[in-house]
C-alpha cells in the first residue's frame, strides 16, 4: 500500500480567488538542462502555500446517491470530478454565481454543462425543494478553487523559477493533474504536525499569511512549477550542483523540510532500490533513519512532498510518496525528471 505525500488540503469549499492571469509561460524561466554539471540550484525545504482557481466548479460529492433524498444532479448523470462550466447557458466560475442561477430557475429543469476527461457533456437536472433551506437544490457539493501546503524542492537563482511537491496536485476522483486557470504561491507558517502511524499517513498543519510570494504556472505529474517574486528569501538558501541519476548511490543521504516555525531542518535518510530507467515519480525508495524526525513526525507525512533529497553534497531529487503501511518509508523522484518538466 502506498499513498502520495499529498498537498496538504486546507478546505473543501473556498470562495473565488481574485488573481490576475499571468502573461508569460514557464518556458520564459526554463534553462537548458543538457549539461547538468553546469547547473547550480538553491535547495528548498521551506513550505509554500498554493491557491489555484479551476476553469469551472468541481463536483466534490453528493448529499446522497440512493433513496428518496438522492441528489437530482447525480440521478441526471453528474459524477465527482466533473467541472461545471454553465448553468442554463450562463457561465459560472464561483459558488455564488452557481447558487444564483439555481435560485433563478426554481422548480424548473436546469441545463448543466460540465467537462469530464476533456469532453463537454450536458445534463438536465430537476432540482428538489428543501424544506430546511426553503429553496430548490441540486444535491451537490462544489468547489471553485483549491488551497494547500507543500514543500519547495529547488529554486533557480538565475531565473527565480522553482519546483516543488514532486507530484501533481490531482483531482481526487480522476487522479489526473488538476486543471487551473490562475494560481498563486503564498507564504505559509507551519504550526504543527500530526504523526504518521501504520495505516494512517500523518500531515503538516499550517496557516497562510496574506503575503503572495509568486505565481504557479504549471501542474504536472512531476510536480508544480512557477516563479517566485524578487522579495522571496530563496537567495539565502544553500546553492548546490545537480546529481545525475546514474551517480546516485544506495546509502546515506539527507532531506530538508520544515516541521515547525523553527525553520528548515536537515534529517538523515537512506536511499535504496534505485531505478534509473524509471521516467515517472517513483524512482527510488527512501528510509527515514533520523531519530529526531521519527520522533517529530513518525517519518514521512503529507506536506513533506517536495522535500529535497541530497547526497554527497548534490541535489538528488525530492520526496514524493509515503508507504501507508510504513510511514518511515517512501519514494523519491529524480531531480532530472523534475527539471525536464520545467
The catalytic residues are 167, 290, 305
Q: Which three cell numbers stand for residue 261?
A: 516555525
- Spell out the alpha helix ranges (H) of the chain: 72-76, 95-105, 291-297, 335-341
Q: Are 165 and 7 in contact (CB under 8 A)?
A: yes
**CA 297/CA 8 separation, integer angstroms:** 15
**CA 338/CA 33 separation, integer angstroms:** 11
Q: Are strands 110-116 and 239-242 parallel, antiparallel or unpaired?
A: unpaired
**CA 310/CA 255 separation, integer angstroms:** 6
339 phi and psi angles, rounded to 5 deg: -65, -30
CB within 8 Å of 182: residues ≥ 6 apart: 17, 19, 20, 21, 22, 52, 53
**CA 199/CA 45 separation, integer angstroms:** 26
Task: Using alpha carbons only, give the angle 175, 11, 330 rounded to the nearest 5 degrees.
Answer: 50
Q: Residue 114's Cα: distance from chain center in Å?
A: 23
98 phi and psi angles, rounded to 5 deg: -65, -50
Amino acid at each position: 500500500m502506498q499513498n502520495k505525500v499529498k498537498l496538504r488540503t486546507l478546505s473543501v469549499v473556498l470562495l473565488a480567488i481574485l488573481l490576475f492571469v499571468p502573461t508569460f509561460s514557464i518556458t520564459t524561466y526554463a534553462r537548458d538542462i543538457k549539461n547538468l554539471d553546469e547547473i547550480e540550484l538553491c535547495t528548498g525545504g521551506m513550505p509554500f502555500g498554493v491557491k489555484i482557481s479551476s476553469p469551472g466548479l468541481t463536483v466534490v460529492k453528493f448529499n446522497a446517491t440512493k433513496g428518496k433524498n438522492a441528489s437530482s444532479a447525480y440521478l441526471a448523470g453528474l459524477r465527482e470530478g466533473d467541472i461545471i462550466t454553465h448553468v442554463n447557458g450562463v457561465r459560472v466560475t464561483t459558488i455564488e454565481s452557481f447558487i444564483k442561477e439555481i435560485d433563478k430557475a426554481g422548480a424548473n429543469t436546469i441545463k448543466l454543462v460540465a467537462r469530464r476527461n476533456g469532453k463537454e457533456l450536458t445534463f438536465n437536472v430537476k432540482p428538489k425543494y428543501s424544506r430546511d433551506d426553503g429553496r430548490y437544490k441540486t444535491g451537490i457539493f462544489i468547489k471553485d478553487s483549491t488551497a494547500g501546503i507543500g514543500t519547495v524542492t529547488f529554486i533557480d537563482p538565475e531565473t527565480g523559477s522553482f519546483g516543488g511537491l514532486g507530484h501533481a496536485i490531482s483531482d481526487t476522483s480522476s487522479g489526473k493533474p488538476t486543471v487551473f486557470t490562475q494560481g498563486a504561491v503564498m507564504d505559509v507558517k507551519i504550526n504543527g504536525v500530526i504523526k504518521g502511524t501504520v495505516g494512517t499517513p500523518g500531515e503538516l498543519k499550517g496557516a497562510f499569511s496574506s503575503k503572495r510570494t509568486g505565481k504557479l504556472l504549471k501542474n504536472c505529474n512531476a510536480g508544480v512549477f512557477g516563479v517566485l517574486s524578487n522579495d522571496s528569501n530563496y537567495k539565502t538558501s544553500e546553492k548546490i550542483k545537480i546529481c545525475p541519476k546514474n551517480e546516485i548511490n544506495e546509502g546515506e543521504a539527507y532531506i530538508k523540510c520544515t516541521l515547525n516555525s523553527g525553520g528548515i531542518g536537515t534529517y538523515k535518510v537512506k536511499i535504496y532500490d534505485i531505478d534509473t530507467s524509471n521516467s515517472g515519480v517513483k524512482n527510488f525508495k527512501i528510509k527515514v533513519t533520523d531519530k529526531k524526525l521519527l520522533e517529530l513526525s513518525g517519518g514521512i507525512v503529507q506536506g513533506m512532498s517536495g522535500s529535497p533529497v541530497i547526497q554527497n553534497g548534490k541535489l538528488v531529487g525530492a520526496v514524493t510518496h509515503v508507504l501507508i503501511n510504513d510511514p518511515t518509508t517512501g519514494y523519491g523522484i529524480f531531480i532530472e525528471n523534475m527539471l525536464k518538466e520545467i
